Homo-oligomer: A and B are copies of this chain.
């Protein structure tokens, strides 16, 4: 969920200076159009890690736009007035009217995450608070509100560096956050519980946007663009209410995640033979462990065409007895499957405890091929992220160990492999017209992968991006990741 916000993205000053004026003008224009239409309010929630630039970004927004039409609210300690009433009263009284924008600091998410971090309550109570937030936001959205939820993020290292630099700067030292943020334990807890909250509450009608907070140029332009595109789309929508549109910058932002991979990592043949044999033996041993009887194992393989999914899967199964695993190849749904909700075809293959199922492509088809090819509506794939998170949470709650791989190659490597396939008689069946067509949508797929990782990679079910230009490197990384993950889960038993 936070992967793409920890890769250290920056935008240099000259790019920023070149882009800022146009963005600023467009935002102002959208803001006046919003007032003019007075058809819906805009609610912006500001959350995230301490020191990630929340305050600075909001300050900048009020400078870019007309501050008379923006109401910024902070919710720190409750006032006497507020304490005497139901907790939500303080938010209701600050709601922006139609045509205006309200920016909420220290909102319901801050309260619930802080409460959980401080140990004031447990997961069950956190889930109650989450359900309350979902109900509130769905109601607001049904009533027409356009909701943006920003999570400003820093890696632990980035946060420490930032807090230190702020402390040393006399102009900014007043900003230094409570002492406990200096401790990395607080960071870990905050991010862990924050992730649970984001996973549950990133819904089609009110998605989260995770923004990397290190560089102020990057973070300002990103937030500005997301707001602008979302506003413009909602203002242009003929519907009575504000639709929650899919905002492209997030994708552009996320595809940077793939671009940040070093795809050319290689493994020499001898190292490969040695490491492969050792990881295969390790897998065979792990699957025989007594503790595995309490778990099922699911491995999901997604990746570019010709990225080597099949080969990687064969190396995984190579060490195992065929009775120990089952491979589910996912292609077009059958007639029976089309007559059911889309997750049905995967639910039917959920392994029982002690079993191991490998999905060669998976439920992520909805947010990959179906999204890119338009096989389902935007509304369908937008809600799919939340549904998939629900699904995977049910799996892991029931003890399933879930490991998800995206095998990534670059365009040149793919082209070369396509040509090899065409030239090799027994591989020719593997290459079709469709593969060539998909290639043309390379960037769309990269966007879709970025969004997918942003919205569905979490502590309970992380994505592993596998650099796969070199098949040997990829296969060993897959096996090792699988083994590491099994070991980590069993160690916690």
Contact = CB atoms under 8 A, between A and B. Distances in A.
Given A92-B347, A93-B348, A128-B131, 5 more contacts: A84-B296, A84-B352, A86-B400, A89-B347, A144-B341
A451 to B, nearest CB: 19
B352 A387 contact: no
A11 interface: no
Given A86-B350, A142-B383, A347-B93, A99 B339 contact: yes
Contacts of A353: 84-85
B86 A397 contact: yes
Interface of A: 38, 41, 81, 84-89, 92-93, 95, 97-99, 122, 124-125, 127-128, 130-132, 134-135, 139-140, 142-145, 296, 336, 339-344, 347-348, 350-354, 380, 383, 386-387, 390, 394-395, 397-398, 400
Nearest to A395: B86
B339 A98 contact: yes
Contacts of A99: 339
Given A87-B398, A124-B124, A128-B127, A95 B38 contact: no
B139 A128 contact: no
A336 B100 CA distance: 12
A420 to B, nearest CB: 41
A81 B38 contact: no
A97 B143 contact: no
Nearest to A240: B377
A238 to B, nearest CB: 16
A352 B142 contact: no
21 contacts: A41-B340, A85-B350, A85-B352, A86-B395, A86-B398, A92-B344, A95-B340, A95-B344, A97-B339, A97-B340, A98-B339, A98-B340, A99-B339, A122-B124, A128-B131, A131-B134, A132-B390, A135-B390, A139-B343, A139-B390, A144-B341
